[in-house]
Amino acid sequence: MRSAVLALSMILPAVASAGEIAVRDAWVPLAPPSARAHAAFMVLENTGADPRHLVGVSAPGYGMAHLHESAETDGVATMRAVEQLTLEPGQAVALEHGSFHIMLMMPKTPKAEGDTVDLTLIFADGQEVPVQAPVKKLHAGM
């Protein structure tokens, strides 16, 4: 039975839920061992009736973690820290390449494919949502 549960957990997308916030498809792209910055991606969904405001993230395996947004303006790629990401009722927001993402700075140890990065999403109302993001190889074209 245990092996069947393990097998299912490997093929089904990871979904976490805490109250009115659902988190799915969390992952951290594999980076070279010397990389001083990593990113974390996922989809966040507000399943509740009120707006929710993501105001921070913590990652004990890193010196710092911030919510960022990447954009391209007039052919120039930029990245900036974001103080708050609002999720409207029923809205899903993808944290992905070229958009919102979590920037993880100064890893305390190198990460290998298959490792898990522990994150905590912090909302304005004080709610904290734990997320486990597996480290995976970056797919071609991303």
Q: Is the pLDDT of residue 19 over 70?
A: no
Contact 47, 90 (CB under 8 A): yes
User: pTM score, two decimals?
Assistant: 0.82
The answer to whether residue 97 is domain-embedded is yes
The answer to whether residue 141 is domain-embedded is no
Mean pLDDT of the chain: 87
CATH number of the domain residue 7 falls in: 2.60.40.1890
Of the listed ranges 24-33, 74-83, 101-110, the least confidently predicted one is: 74-83
The answer to whether residue 66 is domain-embedded is yes
78: left (phi over 0), alpha (psi -120 to 50) or beta: beta
pLDDT value of position 113: 95
- SS3 of 110-132: CCCCCCEEEEEEEECCCCEEEEE
99-124 tens-digit pLDDT: 999 999 999 999 999 999 999 999 99
**E strand or H helix that includes residue 67:** strand 62-73
* pLDDT band (50, 70, 90) for residue 39: very high
Which residue segment(s) compose the domain that 111 sits in? 2-136
Q: How many independent structural domains does the chain possess?
A: 1
The answer to whether residue 23 is domain-embedded is yes
The answer to whether residue 142 is domain-embedded is no
pLDDT value of position 6: 37
